[in-house]
């Protein structure tokens, strides 16, 4: 592990055991404002004034999803929280609580697990105040594995799904496009040693030289508050851009039965990874034209318009993503089962 070049052998998971480790980790985790009963029982109890809640889960595994030579444990705690908070925000809900399962090698120094907890705490405080960790599990594995389940309160609103985009709506994005992919490309290009293996020293140097793209990849800052702002403003569809604009926009197009026509000049200005780069965790939403005319909420910026689905040679409507009226290639975007899936942050 990167931050423990000389770990104390008396202070590892193997040495102290699960209960002692948890006794040190749990106090460092953020508390949820929705907690009625927190960690320590068989399950947590949360307040849900709306009577409904949203729930999502995500997993991060050393190798395909991150490299400990590039990410500190604080980074991993932050990213594990941020990526799940973003999925809740994409439904138009306010994040309320997280449940975290962590499996780590027994040789892991406990201070590294404390740093992971600190990263989760700091991400919740910065991105979703009031959201906290209400429980989870700690286990041992030869491969560091992180699984987070996130909950959110709709606050009386209907959820904003992917299927509500309508012809004439404005397409808008809050957050960067392609910045995390730029950071990942830098890591694979210059964050390695002579053999091509991830290198902690090279990564630290890159982070100092290119702080924005490296931070976007290793510790993203999704615009969580803009999810509820979009819902209140009347967003018709929304999702988290975790797999790249082209791939994620296609999901909205297919769910809504429309075409999403993006502005090529705006994409070009955003950089070469704007269309296909994943892991930005920005929010893409569609809004009625009248809402856009009055001013888009939060940090949302218009990048295109919803159009009728293109028609194929046989006269069938084919929901698709377009750039300046021309269909985008089906390929592109983050796919964990694709050939290049080993190139993960």
Which segment of 31-45, 185-199, 290-304 scores lowest on mean pLDDT?
31-45
Contacts of 201 (CB under 8 A, 6+ apart): none
Which phi and psi (to 5°) does residue 138 adopt?
A: -125, 125
CB atoms within 10 A of CB 194: 6
Does 20 share its domain with 114? yes
Would 183 be classed as within a structural domain?
A: no
pLDDT at residue 309 is higher than 60: yes
Sequence ranges of the binding site: 42, 56-58, 65, 87, 136-137, 162, 240, 242-243, 279, 334
CA–CA gap between residue 292 and residue 27 (Å, rounded): 44
Does 229 share its domain with 146? no
Would 136 be classed as within a structural domain?
A: yes
Sequence ranges of the binding site for ATP: 136-137, 162, 242
Does 148 share its domain with 25? yes
The total domain count for the chain is 2
Would 61 be classed as within a structural domain?
A: yes
Would 234 be classed as within a structural domain?
A: yes
Does 24 share its domain with 145? yes
Would 344 be classed as within a structural domain?
A: no
Would 71 be classed as within a structural domain?
A: yes
Which phi and psi (to 5°) does residue 117 adopt?
A: -60, -40
Would 165 be classed as within a structural domain?
A: no
Domain edge (last residue) among 118, 153, 188: 153
Query: Would you place residue 342 in the very low, low, confident or very high pLDDT band (cuts 50, 70, 90)?
Result: very low
CA–CA gap between residue 282 and residue 195 (Å, rounded): 34
pLDDT at residue 285 is higher than 70: yes
CB atoms within 10 A of CB 228: 24
Over 243-306, what HEC string results?
CCHHHHHHHHHHHHCEEEEECHHHHHHHCCCCCCCCCCCEEEEEECHHHHHHCCCCCCEEEEEE
63-121 residue pLDDT tens: 999 999 999 999 999 999 999 999 999 999 999 999 999 999 999 999 999 999 999 99
Does 136 share its domain with 267? no
Sequence ranges of the binding site for Mg(2+): 42, 56-58, 87, 137, 240, 243
Domain residues for the domain of 91 are 13-153
| Local structure of 172: helix, strand or coil | strand
CA–CA gap between residue 62 and residue 53 (Å, rounded): 30
Give the CA radius of gyration of the chain.
21
Picking from 58, 59, 31, the residue whose alpha carbon sits closest to that of residue 46 is 31
What's the CATH code of the domain at 22? 3.30.1330.10
CA–CA gap between residue 261 and residue 308 (Å, rounded): 9
Does 36 share its domain with 146? yes
What's the CATH code of the domain at 276? 3.90.650.10
Sequence ranges of the binding site for substrate: 65, 279, 334
């Amino acid at each position: 592990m990167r931050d423990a070049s000389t770990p104390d052998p008396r202070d590892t998971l193997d040495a102290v055991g699960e209960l002692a480790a948890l006794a040190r980790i749990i106090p460092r985790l953020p508390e949820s404002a929705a907690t009625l009963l927190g960690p320590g029982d068989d399950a947590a109890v949360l307040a849900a004034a709306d009577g409904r809640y949203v729930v999502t889960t995500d997993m991060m595994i050393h190798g395909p999803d991150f490299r400990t030579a590039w990410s500190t444990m604080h980074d991993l705690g932050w990213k594990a929280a941020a990526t799940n908070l973003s999925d809740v925000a994409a439904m138009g809900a306010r994040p309320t609580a997280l449940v975290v399962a962590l499996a780590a090698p027994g040789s892991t120094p406990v201070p590294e697990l404390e740093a992971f907890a600190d990263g989760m705490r700091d991400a919740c405080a910065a991105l979703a105040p009031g959201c906290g960790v209400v429980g989870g599990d700690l286990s041992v594995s030869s491969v560091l594995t992180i699984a987070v389940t996130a909950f959110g309160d709709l606050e009386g609103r209907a959820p904003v799904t992917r299927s509500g985009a309508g012809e004439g709506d404005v397409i808008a994005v809050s957050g960067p496009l392609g910045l995390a992919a730029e950071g990942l490309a830098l890591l694979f290009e210059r964050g390695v040693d002579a053999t091509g293996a991830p290198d902690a020293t090279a990564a630290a140097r890159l982070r100092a030289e290119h702080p924005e793209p490296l931070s976007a990849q290793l510790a993203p800052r999704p615009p969580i508050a803009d999810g509820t702002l979009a819902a209140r403003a009347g967003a018709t569809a929304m999702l988290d851009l975790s797999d790249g604009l082209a791939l994620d926009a296609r999901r909205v197009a297919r769910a809504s039965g429309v075409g999403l026509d993006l502005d090529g000049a705006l994409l070009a200005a955003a950089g070469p990874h704007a269309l296909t780069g994943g892991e930005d965790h920005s929010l893409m939403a569609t809004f009625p034209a009248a809402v856009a005319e009055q001013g888009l909420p939060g940090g949302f910026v218009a990048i295109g318009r919803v159009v009728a689905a293109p028609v194929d040679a046989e006269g069938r409507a084919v929901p698709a993503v377009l750039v300046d009226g021309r269909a985008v290639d089906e390929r592109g975007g983050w796919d964990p089962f694709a050939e290049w899936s080993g190139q993960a942050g």
